[in-house]
Amino acid sequence: MKTYRNILVNALVNLGDVVLTTSALVLLRRAYPEARITMLVKPLVREAVEDNPLIDEVLLFDYKHGEGTLSAMRSMVRELRARHFDLSLSFDRKLRPALLAFLARIPERVGPSRVFSPKKSRVTWLYTKTIPITHDLDATLQAETYQEIVRGLTGREDHAVPVFPAPLPANERKAEELLARLPEAEKIIGLCVKGTFPLKTWPKEYFAETVQSLAKKYKAAFYIIGAPGDKDYADEVMEAMGGDVRVENFCGETHLRDLPAILKRSDLFLTVDTGATHIAATTGIPMVVLYGCTPVARWKPINDHAIALSSKEPCCPCTYRAEECPSNPRPNCLYHVTPKEAIEAVERFL
C-alpha cells in the first residue's frame, strides 16, 4: 500500500453526509496514522468537524453559485497548491471538488465511480484513480458507501462508525441553560420537526397528535431543535399541539456542538430524517426517526437504540417536488407513517 503524508479530504456535502463521512475518516486514519489530514467543507458544517480527533485541519470553501464563484475557485486553488498535498480523496463526485484538486496539481486524485447517483459522470476523468462502487446505493448505508471509497484506496476491510466532536464546557453550560427552561418532568423528549425539504417533513397534525398523547400518559417535557429558519415552522407545530402541552422552541438557539450536550441529557429524540439525526446517533440516545421519500436502508441512523419508521412506498425513493407528488397534498410516504406507529415506537423506549 502506498504511503501518503499530506491528505486533502473533499467533503463539500451537507451536514448529515459530513457526519457520516467521519466513519470513513476512521479507516483513513488507521491506514495512514502518521499522515496530516485536512478536510475541505462548507462553512455551515464547520462545527461538525472542528476538534474532531481524526482531522488535523479544517479548510472552509465559502462560495456561492453565480457571481463570485470563479474568484472563490481561484483563491482556493492557490491555497491548495501552497499546501503541497500528495493525495486528494473525494467523498463526492461533483465537478467542483474534482476540478479544485486537478487545478491545484495534487498528484494523486481519488474519487468514487458513484456516491449519490448511479449515473455515470465525466467528472471521474479528473481523477487519477476511480474507486468502483458496485453495491446498490439505496440498499446500503451511506456511511458504508463512504467507507468503501477508503477501502478501495487502502485495501482495508474493516468498518467504523461516525465520530462527532465532544461537547466543550461552553456547550455543556448552554445545554443546562436551555433545559432549565423546561417544566419539571420525569422524561425529557427532544423533537426535530422539519426536514430539509417537504417530502421529508412529517405532517404538523401528526406531530401534534403524537405529543398530545405522550403528554397525557407521561410526565414529560418537550423541546424542539432546528436551524434559525425552522423557528416559525416549529411555532406552527406547537400551536397545533394546543395550550395544554408545554413545549420549548430552541430552533436557532443552538450550535451544532450544543446538540450532543442537550441530547445526552434527554430520554428520547423523535425526529424526521435530517442532519441532526446523524449527530444524535453518535450519542447513543434512544431515538425514533420518521422517514418520508428517502430509503431507510440508506439513511437510517447508526445507533443500536434507534427505530426507523417508514411506509416504504413503491414510489420511494423519488425525485419529486412536493407539488409534483402523485398523492399531493397528502403524500403517501408521509401520511402512511401514522401517529399510532410513532407512539408505539416511543413507548418501547419510555
Average pLDDT over residues 336-347: 98
> What's the number of CA atoms in the CB half-sphere (13 Å) around residue 16?
18
- Sheet strands (E) in the chain: 6-10, 36-41, 57-60, 87-90, 109-112, 129-131, 187-192, 220-224, 247-249, 268-272, 287-290, 306-309
pLDDT of residue 97: 93
d(CA 124, CA 95): 9
**Which residue reads 413507548 in cell numbers?**
347
pLDDT tens, 165-180? Answer: 999 999 999 999 999 9
Closest-CA residue to 234 (of 253, 215, 216, 213): 253
pLDDT of residue 70: 84
Average pLDDT over residues 59-63: 89
Q: Please tell me which residue, 263 or 323, carries the higher pLDDT value.
A: 263
pLDDT of residue 66: 57
d(CA 190, CA 200): 18
pLDDT at 320 over 90: no
pLDDT at 322 over 90: no
Angle at 315 between CA 207 and CA 302, to 5 degrees: 60
pLDDT of residue 15: 96
Rounded to 10 deg, the angle between the 142-154 and 15-31 helix axes is 30
User: What stretch of H or E contains 34?
Assistant: none
Q: In the 8-state DSSP scheme, what is residue 193?
A: -
Q: How far is CA 270 from CA 193, 225, 276, in A?
A: 8, 11, 11
**Which residue reads 424526521 in cell numbers?**
272
C-alpha cell at 219: 410526565
- pLDDT-derived band at 67 (thresholds 50, 70, 90) equals low
Q: Which amino acid is at 113?
A: S
pLDDT of residue 288: 98
pLDDT tens, 268-285? Answer: 999 999 999 999 999 999
Reported residue count of the chain is 350
d(CA 185, CA 222): 9
Average pLDDT over residues 305-327: 91
pLDDT of residue 69: 75
For the chain, list the domains and their CATH numbers: 6-154 (3.40.50.2000), 169-349 (3.40.50.2000)
| Range in 77-86, 98-107, 111-120, 147-156 with the lowest mean pLDDT | 111-120
pLDDT of residue 349: 96
| Range in 67-76, 120-129, 178-187 with the lowest mean pLDDT | 67-76
User: Both ends of the chain: CA-CA distance in Å?
Assistant: 49
Q: Provide the 10 A C-beta neighbour count for residue 305.
A: 14
Mean pLDDT across the chain: 95
pLDDT tens, 125-149? Answer: 999 999 999 999 999 999 999 999 9
C-alpha cell at 313: 412506498
pLDDT at 299 over 60: yes
Q: Which amino acid is at 330?
A: R
Angle at 103 between CA 97 and CA 104, to 5 degrees: 85
Q: Are strands 57-60 and 36-41 parallel, antiparallel or unpaired?
A: parallel
Q: Transcribe 92-154 into DSSP letters.
A: ---HHHHHHHHHTT-S-EEEES-SS--S--GGGGG-SEEE---S-GGGS-HHHHHHHHHHHHH
Q: Which residues contact 109 (CB under 8 A, 6 or more apart)?
A: 87, 88, 90, 98, 101, 102, 126, 127, 128, 129
d(CA 301, CA 180): 28
Q: Transcribe 276-290 into DSSP letters.
A: HHHHHHTTT--EEEE
pLDDT at 317 over 80: yes
C-alpha cell at 277: 439525526
Closest-CA residue to 86 (of 32, 18, 142): 32
Closest-CA residue to 306 (of 174, 165, 182, 141): 141
Q: Provide the 10 A C-beta neighbour count for residue 236.
A: 12
pLDDT tens, 1-30? Answer: 789 999 999 999 999 999 999 999 999 999
